[in-house]
Chains A and B, each alone.
Chain A
């Protein structure tokens, strides 16, 4: 029963990415290598065919990547990008999860804050970034805000839905054995909500990556956004692609690691299935 539920939750929250990553990691090593070789091979052939002068081959991209690693520009860019990303994600997780759980538990919080998160989630945030710049300038604050605005709504709304979806009979069960309200929340509601909450956290972290890159492209070019726009402007397409692919891979790895952590810490029943 719990399995059907998680599958449904993940489908409902459109968590294709992490399912794909998980599926990929579950494959035997040989197949993983084969699928990567096929992908990069196809890329190489497409790059060699010269269908677009701005599309570098795989090898060109790879050497550019190694070059940027070697001269330290990649590391410097990531250190710069990580600052608003990490601060923004910490705020989003802290506020998003607390607000979501509070809304799930208490109707008065739901009335006050749910509409805000729903509007935030529905609004095309890229359109609001100029507004943020207008108010907060081009510094760190604006970039952190961009991350928060993209990451927080999905984290908060999923946490809220997760708490609401906890089977009422589980809570009644805890109550019938004289569990206090505190025990009900700590021993039943939060663990039962954890799978769906984590689905939201993975989505939110992925959104946070979009937010920081958007901010670095639209506000002022710094970090990885600078690497992309600069190399584009001087027509070093291999370097530009290397920067883009690196941030995509980084996001995928972070989301994959999150999933591992969730299974290891919160889902003993999934672990025992292996």
Chain B
């Protein structure tokens, strides 16, 4: 059943769930972020994420979930606190982390293949080698045959697949995804979620996933971190015990899935005006 863990007092790094803990790959300690000296986006957030899991940051808008993700990515500097990834303090972007953007952030003048290879290009990988790698991951996300197309020739869902291929190609340990499916239509989104579950099996990576969709979080995650808004802080941590080995469609009908969705909704409805 659902193991709900109240987050007061602070959880011990390494996680609080029952499974014999894998070492935490991401440790967030005392993170606060204040914008412009007055808007408190995050206040004193402590979290630990275990390797190989898919963790969702869930919450209503204004709860600082994207801010937290960008701090972990090294794209934003926190006002206070530290983030450690694989034991090293984060001071900026690093090769062990790759980011998937909400608006895809594809270069409009570059082909699918070049976009997918962009991270490798930045790392100075020779062009033959990086094309080979990019081709593999473009195929992995289901875009074989589109290598020479330009972003404007693709649908929204396909564009985000390119963004995903680009993040996978650099072979980072942690994939940071900022509402990756929010700009694609509902059908594409469902297909995408199923593909992501499959991808998790083949790629042994840690996913940190920001979403505002309760269903999406419960469907995909091993662990859901619920954030409450103004100031953003951790309100609950939930480990949905949904079986994911069977048919992906079964998950959406599973009683644990439905109960967890309902439970989270009751937890956060007070923050939604």
| A residues whose Cβ falls under 8 Å from a Cβ of B | 1-3, 167, 169-170, 172-179, 183, 187-188, 191-192, 266-269, 272
Flag if A268 contacts B109 (CB, 8 Å): yes
A169, closest chain B residue (CB): B105
Number of interface residues of B (CB under 8 A): 30
Residues from chain B with Cβ under 8 Å of A267 in the complex? 109
Flag if A173 contacts B99 (CB, 8 Å): yes
Residues from chain A with Cβ under 8 Å of B111 in the complex? 268
Is B22 on the interface with A (CB-CB < 8 A)? no
Question: Known contacts A175-B93, A178-B122; is A269 also within 8 Å of B101 by CB?
Answer: no
Residues from chain A with Cβ under 8 Å of B73 in the complex? 176
| Chain B interface SS verdict (over half) | loop
Residues from chain A with Cβ under 8 Å of B192 in the complex? none
Q: Across the A-B interface, how many residue pairs have beta carbons closer than 8 Å?
A: 73
| Minimal beta-carbon separation of B169 from chain A (angstroms) | 10
Flag if A177 contacts B122 (CB, 8 Å): yes
| B residues whose Cβ falls under 8 Å from a Cβ of A | 73-75, 92-95, 97-99, 101-103, 105, 107-111, 118-119, 121-123, 150-153, 166, 170
Flag if A188 contacts B123 (CB, 8 Å): no
Flag if B107 contacts A177 (CB, 8 Å): no
Given contacts A173-B99, A268-B109, A269-B151, 5 further A-B contacts (CB under 8 A): A174-B122, A177-B170, A178-B93, A187-B121, A269-B152
Residues from chain B with Cβ under 8 Å of A175 in the complex? 75, 92-93
Flag if B95 contacts A170 (CB, 8 Å): no
Residues from chain B with Cβ under 8 Å of A172 in the complex? 75, 99, 101, 105
| Chain A interface SS verdict (over half) | helix
Question: Known contacts A176-B93, A178-B93; is A269 also within 8 Å of B109 by CB?
Answer: yes
Report 26 cross-chain contacts, Cβ distance below 8 Å, ordered by A residue.
A1-B108, A1-B151, A1-B152, A2-B109, A2-B152, A3-B152, A167-B105, A169-B101, A169-B105, A172-B75, A173-B101, A173-B105, A175-B93, A176-B73, A176-B99, A177-B122, A177-B123, A178-B122, A178-B123, A183-B122, A192-B108, A266-B109, A267-B109, A269-B108, A269-B109, A269-B150
Give complex CA distance A177, B152 in Å.
22
Give complex CA distance A266, B92 in Å.
31
Give complex CA distance A266, B108 in Å.
11
Residues from chain A with Cβ under 8 Å of B105 in the complex? 167, 169-170, 172-173
